[in-house]
Amino acid sequence: MKFFLDTGIVEEIREAAKWGFVDGVTTNPSLIAQTGRSQSEVIKEICDIIDGPISAEVISTTTEEMIQEGQELAKIHPNVVIKLPLTEDGIAACKVFSSEGIKTNVTLCFSVNQALLAAKNGATYISPFVGRLDDIGHDGMGLIQEIRALYDNYGFNTQILAASIRHSQHVRDAALVGSDVATMPYKVMKLLFKHPLTDIGLEKFLADHQKSLNK
């Protein structure tokens, strides 16, 4: 499973890139707004750090405007993926981008039917929001599992990108049910390293080593 970092903060991306396993980055208007910078400026800098898919989301609401905006975003770098909302206009724009060879990430997916529409129109990625579904008492990870079965059944090439990841258990579960990608905040990615027994074991090894030096 690929790991994407869900952030617009360049400093977080630089730090995570050192770990060697970050495959891409996803952004959205809310994340970009937190930086106080323009989207194009942030996306350009991210593309210089991570050699992988970088999702940049349109803020337009009509198909024609989405196409125009997405085409401009795609010019920033070959790795830019155009992020589109799962609306009638967004799905229509997805079809156009697919025919032009521009990669897309269809976001705000909350149902199997929505995922089917995105796949039929050639979306590169579909982003089911597992955390937001869990928040309202639905089974977010169950949706990932159902989409996996659907795509495998019909041979769709659209990759499942588990989004709205809230904790490390979400990452584990997404991997086990066959998600192609999990995108997560920096703080969640850091938690993947953590286990209390690792800390205890390392502390003991270092203490034993120090004892041997003092003999």
- In order, the DSSP letters of 47-58 are HHH--S-EEEE-
Catalytic residue selected from 18, 44, 75, 83: 83
> How many structural domains does the chain have?
1
Distance, in Å, from the CA atom of 186 to the CA atom of 21, rounded to the nearest integer, reads 13
Work out the angle at residue 117's Cα, subtended by the Cα atoms of residues 91 and 160, and round it to the nearest 5 degrees: 100
Nearest alpha-carbon partner for 43 in 68, 10, 18, 69:
10
Dist CA 8 CA 23 (whole Å): 15
Question: Which residue range(s) make up the domain with 194?
Answer: 2-214
Q: What pLDDT band is residue 103 in, cutting at 50, 70 and 90?
A: very high
The 10s digit of each residue's pLDDT in 137-174 is 999 999 999 999 999 999 999 999 999 999 999 999 99
**What does the block give as tokens for 163?**
């989004």
Give the confidence band of 4 by pLDDT, cuts at 50, 70, 90.
very high
Where do runs of H (alpha helix) occur along 54-167?
Answer: 63-74, 88-100, 112-120, 130-135, 140-154
More confident residue, 207 or 2: 2
* CATH label of the domain that carries residue 104: 3.20.20.70
Tell me, yes or no, if 75 is annotated catalytic: no
pLDDT of residue 13: 98
